[in-house]
Structure 1
Amino acid sequence: MYCLYAFNGELMCFVHVLLNGLDMAEKGMKVSIVFEGASVALIPELEKKDCPFHKLYMKAKSQGLFDGACKACSVKLQVKEDVEKSGIPLIGEMSGHPAMSDYIEKGYKIITF
């Protein structure tokens, strides 16, 4: 089991999270993606149909790969409402941020981007 924590807010970097998550899932691995830090601001962009990576994002979303988006960062970067509209859960059991320890306790290996 793997949890991909995406911190980087650059779209071209986040594409690699999507590609790796989909590849891992297609190979039978259990994988979850967590939007953290600046990456939460990508959600409104990726939700747009004219975004060049919208289809890739929607494929990952339809496969249930997105575990959630950081609640604290979504508030700070003023995208909380957009994240809520996307249907991606806001998570943050560690002062508003998703705790890696929760995933580790469940047996996940953490990979950060």
Structure 2
Amino acid sequence: MHKVVLYAVQGEVPCFVHVLLNALDMHARGWDVRVVVEGQAIKVVPVVAGTGHTMRPLFEKARDAGLFAGACKACAATQRMTEEVQDTGLELIGDMGGHPAMADWIAQGYTVITM
């Protein structure tokens, strides 16, 4: 079985949407796939998850399927987005100085892809 973790890093909505599309596609193929939200992508989460956003159903589908491993605790705090990200239902994670370590995923056999 393929094991992939997608790190959403870019702060543009189209980039984040492509992370969600790929995660849902991999999930539909039976792959073990997770999404970690990092960097500037933190700011995109409340936007896409917001009421009335055209991509909200896509976000909810990925969230409800359990595809999100979480969002970077340090990035959320630095960008003053902690509460907004938590309000979307994502857990704040990060045991590497507040950031989610890629090495942990690699040690578990995941391929790490940043987008």
Q: TM-score range by the shorter chain?
A: over 0.9
Task: Give the partner amino acid of 2:61.
Answer: K
> Does residue 47 of the first structure (1) align with residue 45 of the second (2)?
no
Within the candidate set 81, 99, 102, 1:79 is matched to: 81
* Structure 1 residue 49: Cα displacement: 2.2
Q: How does 1:28-67 map to 2 (within 5 A)?
A: 28-67=30-69
* Structure 1 residue 82: Cα displacement: 1.1
Deviations along 1:26-71, whole A, 9 cap, x unmatched? 0000000000000011111122121111011111111000100000
Aligned to 1:111: 113
Find the aligned partners of 1:15 and 1:85 in 2 and give their Cα distance. 19
Find the residue that maps to 1:14 and give its secondary structure: helix
Task: Give the partner amino acid of 1:28.
Answer: G
Deviations along 1:4-32, whole A, 9 cap, x unmatched? 00100100111110110000000000000
Aligned to 2:93: 91
Moved more, 43-52 or 31-40: 43-52
Aligned to 1:17: 19
Aligned to 1:100: 102
Note the aligned Cα RMSD (angstroms): 0.8
Q: TM-score, normalised by structure 2?
A: 0.95
Q: Which runs of 4+ in 1 moved over 3 A?
A: none
